[in-house]
Structure 1
Amino acid sequence: MLTINVAVLLTIVVILRLRRRVHARSRFDERMTVVIVLALGLLLAPTPVGQGILSFLGQLASGVTQASR
C-alpha cells in the first residue's frame, strides 16, 4: 500500500512540475523531472496499475503496427 501512496505523491509532483512554463526551467529542473518520472515508473511497474498500463501500451503499439501495414 505504501508504494501506491508514494506513486500518487510523485504523480502530483510530476504534474505540478510539468505545468511550469518551458522557458522558465533550468537544466537542473529538467534533469530533476526526468529522475522523478523514472522513480515513478519504477514504483508503478510491479503494481497491477503498472501492469495494466504496460498491457494497454503494448496493445496500442500492436494496433499501430498492424494499421501501418
Structure 2
Amino acid sequence: MLTINVAVLLAFIVIMRLRRRTEARSRMDEKFTVVIVLVLGVLLAPTEFGQGILNVLTQLVQGISQSD
C-alpha cells in the first residue's frame, strides 16, 4: 500500500509542475519533471492500476496497427 501512496503523491507533484507556464521552466526543471514521471511509472507498473493502463494501451495500439 505504501507504493500507491507514494505514487499518488508523485502524481500530484507532476500535475502541479505541469500546470506552470512553459516559459518559466529551466532545462534542469524539465529534467527533474521527467525523472519524477519515470519514477511514477516504475511505482505504478506493478500495481493493478498500472496493469490496467498497460492493457488499455496495448488494445489501443493493436487497434491502431490493425486499422492500417
Identity %: 68
Where does structure 2 lack aligned partners over 5 or more consecutive residues?
none
Structure 2 match to 1:24: 24
Structure 2 match to 1:12: 12
- Paired amino acid for 2:23: H
Q: Residue 23 of structure 1: CA displacement?
A: 1.0
- Paired amino acid for 2:8: V
When normalised by structure 1's length, the TM-score is 0.96
When normalised by structure 2's length, the TM-score is 0.97
Counterpart mapping for 1:40-55 below 5 A: 40-55=40-55
Which aligned runs of 4 or more in structure 1 are off by greater than 6 angstroms?
none
Structure 2 match to 1:64: 64
Equivalent pairs, count: 68
SS in 1 for 2:46: coil
Structure 2 match to 1:3: 3
